[in-house]
């Protein structure tokens, strides 16, 4: 029985390989992030790129779905996105409300269609 096959060894590997390298970048991000001006041109560009990436992911999930979304028709996926946007706007720009609204539409629509 070697060290990696024990439960303690597996936990130590996860901490050393998974947690600590990630935590280092988080700490550095906090330290350097304090000095960044949120309204600078650089941050506007970063915000625009992040928004474009999110839009691309949503478009891909909508138009070229994978997994369980494949079984749902396009009109239901479009309706879920539209209802999510409506939920976001109606409930004081709450991301959680938008996500939950879209998920509810997908789940109820799939149940109604028998998928």
Residue 52 exposure: Cα atoms within 13 Å on the Cβ side:
6
Report the C-alpha gap between 94 and 104 in whole angstroms.
15
Confidence of residue 52 (pLDDT cuts 50, 70, 90): very high
The pLDDT of residue 5 is above 90: no
The pTM for the full model equals: 0.65
What pLDDT does residue 4 have? 56
What pLDDT does residue 2 have? 61
More confident residue, 19 or 54: 54
């Amino acid at each position: 029985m070697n060290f990696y096959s024990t439960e303690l060894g597996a936990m130590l590997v996860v901490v050393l390989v998974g947690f600590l390298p990630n935590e280092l970048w988080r700490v550095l991000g906090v330290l350097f992030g304090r000095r960044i001006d949120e309204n600078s041109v650089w941050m506007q560009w970063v915000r625009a790129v992040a928004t474009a990436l999110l839009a691309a992911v949503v478009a891909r999930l909508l138009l070229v779905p994978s997994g369980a979304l494949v079984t749902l028709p396009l009109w239901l996926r479009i309706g879920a996105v539209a209802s999510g946007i409506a939920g976001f706007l109606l409930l004081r720009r709450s991301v959680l409300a938008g996500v939950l609204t879209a998920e509810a539409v997908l789940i109820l629509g799939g149940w109604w269609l028998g998928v």
